[in-house]
Amino acid sequence: MENFAVFVPRLLPQQEYLAPGHRACIGCGEALAMRLVAKALGRNVIVSNATGCMEIISTPYPTTSWRVPWIHTLFENASAVAAGIEAAVRIQNEKGTRKNTPKVVAMGGDGATFDIGLQSLSGAWERGHDFLYVCYDNEAYMNTGIQRSSATPFGAATTTSPAGKVSIGQTTAKKNMPAIAVAHDIPYVATACPSYPFDLMEKVSKAVATRGPSYLHVLSPCPTGWRHGGDISVKMGRLAVETGAFPLFEVVNGKYRLTMDFPKLRPVKDYLTPQGRFRHLPKDEVERIQQGVIREYEKLKKKAEA
Amino acid sequence: MAMVGMEGSLAMAEAARLANVDVVAAYPITPQTHIVERLAEMVANGELNASYIPVESEHSAMSACLGSSAAGARTFTATAGQGLELMHEVLYVASGLRLPIVMGVANRALSCPLSVWGDHSDVMAVRDTGWIQVFAENGQQAFDLTLCAFRIAEDPKVLFPVMVHIDGFHLSHVVEPLYLMEQEQVNSFLPPFSYPFPLDPDTPVTMGAFTVPILYSEARKSMETALRSTRVIINHIFADFARVSGRQYSAVEQYRSDDADTLLLTMGSYSQIAMDAVDQLRDRGEKVGLIRLRLWRPFPFDELRQAVENCQTLVVLDRCVSPAGPPGPVCSEVKAALYSQKKRPNVAGFIGGLGGRDLTPAEFVQMVERGRVIAAEGGEEIEMIGVRG
């Protein structure tokens, strides 16, 4: 592992395709994830970006952080736009009107993926377009000011699921988006986190090398919305993984595999405590969350062992 | 080219095939479905080499068209009624990004109550989306104007999306005699598509950046100015189409209107019924003519003003209600266009032909007679023609 940490970074390309100078918050885990995704994708790509934090921080007219062709149109349609690009490239190659064959990548936040854009994403998966969809999941509508989405975990306080005298915040469990992707029988599904950059980049490379639709679900710590210090975003991602709250795995042709496994999970309170969005939770609710994490992790392990 | 009998829908699909479209992204909806069914059949039979994307909604249909057109592919779709409304927000992006998508619209009423039949409620709701919009009045025009639409949309000085409106059922489903064109004829009129800034890794562009208040107005102004300036180019393209086909179109077309004291104004298929009514009235010795608005956007102000300047009464038919508003969107736009003119006719507006209701020549005659009275009195009441209660 020590050697890995020394040598692998040297093998990574120096070239950045998401230029610095964008307007993300200090410590933004999502911008970090997007930079790594762009690096792993390389230059031969076309990106379709849903409305959201990453669109807003990277392209205030007349500036852009993107060094690859990039299009933003609306909130809920990044997959449909990507489908149109993929179909265009395919026929242009066939008719000889385009020389290159770029990879097509759609990206959006959890609101664009879990909620408003789920229909167009499901449609694009079902039709089998050759594209990668990357979800940068920061577990709420952060761009509009921290409103709950169906990706918000149980117990988290947001501005539309506030903790109050008679409420503990979000009352529903996080939607299982990777399972929805797997249910579409697409060839490659994976979870990743920018706190594990090599794992993330490896998964991006695998995903775009796969023919057909692929899905990468990236947990992206958000200091602004999660209410933690901007200096511990990478640590927060590691805690999410080490506690089992956000396991790292991949599903290749329906076969689950844990890409990061731990003999013993850390207590989930290590992950919850540094975050202001959970600070109102009484001990019994933390315990309830702990039991839920263990239950889900065991279910996942069983799938991986099957 | 020999005359054939063909539905308006199929004629439109035939035009898209002759235009050698690269991508079709579409969702079924009555009364548009025959257009995209026929295109799917052509692709399945190898008559058309295109990517066909059978999307899961009209919102995604137009979104896929954005991606395809931005990647530099010639792109076609078709829709109607509710489908056009579901696309609504996407339509603004197509014109804002200057993507030359061509869309056939088989005009249909809007729910509620549900009606699959024709009127112009769907068109009027997308009036300000920044698309060029033309109205066909028969099957021949459905074919011709679709070909013109590709040439107009893709002209480097235009680069705007174009809607070709055909009235639901009255045009989409009626078999009419019409002339198709040979591939060579089409090729001499429509050059291969070359989008100036396609999404391409060799020349990366950022499309769809956001603007702050100090820039948004300028962006909208430049877009509006560009759309307005397409009127001249559209006229040139209609003239060039006449060179190839022998059929001449213009923004405002007239029928027996030279010495008319009363003019009817229509858009779409009812223009043909109105012509019958004009003939009947002319037979009675009345000086009545017809104005057919072929181009709805950009609005042909000059041509319209010129066409109506010598008449006393202008009777406008709307196939759409503007509830509790002015008599109808077309009538209020016509009135607004004439307000600044020193010499202008009195204008009366009627609403009719809603949700597939037929209008007869007798009803057009009635509109002329009643319209003269209303116009003289300066009435603002909404009158619906051929309605009970």
Give buried/exposed letters for A94-125 (b at 16+ CB in 10 A, else e): eeebbeeebbbbbbbbbbbbbbbbbbbbbbbb
pLDDT band at A7 (very low <50, low <70, confident <90, very high): confident
Range of the domain at A137: 16-305
Partner-chain contact B93 A67, CB within 8 Å: no
Interval A127-149 mean pLDDT = 98
Q: Which residue has the higher pLDDT, B6 or B327?
A: B6
The CATH code belonging to domain B252-384 is 3.40.50.920
- Given CB atoms, is B199 within the 8 Å cutoff of chain A? yes
pLDDT at B84 exceeding the cut of 70:
yes
Confidence bin at B1 (pLDDT 50/70/90): confident
User: Scanning every residue of chain B, which has its alpha carbon at the shortest distance from the alpha carbon of A119?
Assistant: B56
Residue B361: other Cβ atoms inside 10 A: 16
pTM (predicted TM-score): 0.97
Residues 6+ apart with CB under 8 A from A131: A79, A82, A83, A85, A86, A103, A104, A105, A106, A124, A213, A214
Domains B3-244 and B252-384 share a fold: yes
Question: Across the interface, which of A69, A73, A74 has its CB nearest the CB of B200?
Answer: A69
Residue environment code for A134-157, b if the CB has 16+ CB neighbours within 10 A, otherwise e: bbbbbbbbbbeebbbbbbbbbbbb
pLDDT at A9 over 80: no
Would you say residue A207 lies in a domain? Answer: yes
The 10s digit of each residue's pLDDT in A32-85 is 999 999 999 999 999 999 999 999 999 999 999 999 999 999 999 999 999 999
- Which member of A63, A83, A92 has the closest CB to residue B73? A92
Q: What is the pLDDT of residues B29-61, one digit of tens each?
A: 999 999 999 999 999 999 999 999 999 999 999
Residue A5 belongs to some domain of the structure: no
How do residues B134-152 score in pLDDT, each as one tens digit? Answer: 999 999 999 999 999 999 9
Where residue A265 falls among pLDDT bands split at 50, 70, 90? very high
* CATH label of the domain that carries residue A173: 3.40.50.970
Q: Given this model, what pLDDT does residue B375 score?
A: 86
What residues of chain B lie within 8 A of the CB of A127, using their CB?
A: 53-55
Distance from CA of B273 to the nearest CA of A (A): 41
Q: Is B359 at the interface with chain A, CB within 8 A?
A: no
Summarize the confidence of residues B255-279 as an average pLDDT. Answer: 97
Tell me: the pLDDT tens digits for B178-216? 999 999 999 999 999 999 999 999 999 999 999 999 999
Quick one: what percent of chain A has pLDDT higher than 90?
Answer: 95
Q: Which residues in chain A touch residue B50, judged by CB atoms under 8 angstroms apart?
A: 91
Domain limits of chain B? Answer: 3-244, 252-384
Number of domains composing chain A? 1
Residues of B in contact with A92 (CB under 8 A): 22, 71-73
Predicted local confidence at residue A148, as pLDDT: 98
- B298-346 per-position pLDDT tens digit: 999 999 999 999 999 999 999 999 999 888 999 999 999 999 999 999 9
Residue-averaged pLDDT of chain A: 96
Q: Identify the pLDDT of residue B353.
A: 96
Q: Is A11 part of any domain?
A: no
The minimal CB distance from A72 to the residues B51, B64, B208 is found for B208
pLDDT tens string A163-172 = 999 999 999 9
pLDDT of residue A3: 67
Tokens for B45, please give them. Answer: 């039979």
Q: Above 70 in pLDDT, residue A1?
A: no
Residues A91-118 have a mean pLDDT of 98
Averaged confidence pLDDT in chain B: 97
Q: Percent of chain B scored above 90 by pLDDT?
A: 96
ipTM of the complex: 0.97
Could you tell me the pLDDT band of residue A2, with boundaries at 50, 70 and 90? low
Residue in A60, A66, A81 closest to B67 by CB: A81
| Distance from C-alpha of B144 to C-alpha of B15, rounded to nearest angstrom | 7
Residue A5 is predicted with a pLDDT of 66
Average pLDDT over residues A261-277: 96
B66 in Cβ contact with B99 (< 8 Å): yes
β-bridge pairing A103-109 and B75-79: unpaired
Report the pLDDT value the prediction gives residue B381, as an integer from 0 to 100.
72
What are the E-state strand segments in chain A?
45-49, 70-72, 103-109, 132-137, 163-164, 167-168, 188-192, 214-219, 249-252, 255-258
pLDDT tens digits, residue range A141-155? 999 999 999 999 999
CATH class of B3-244: alpha beta
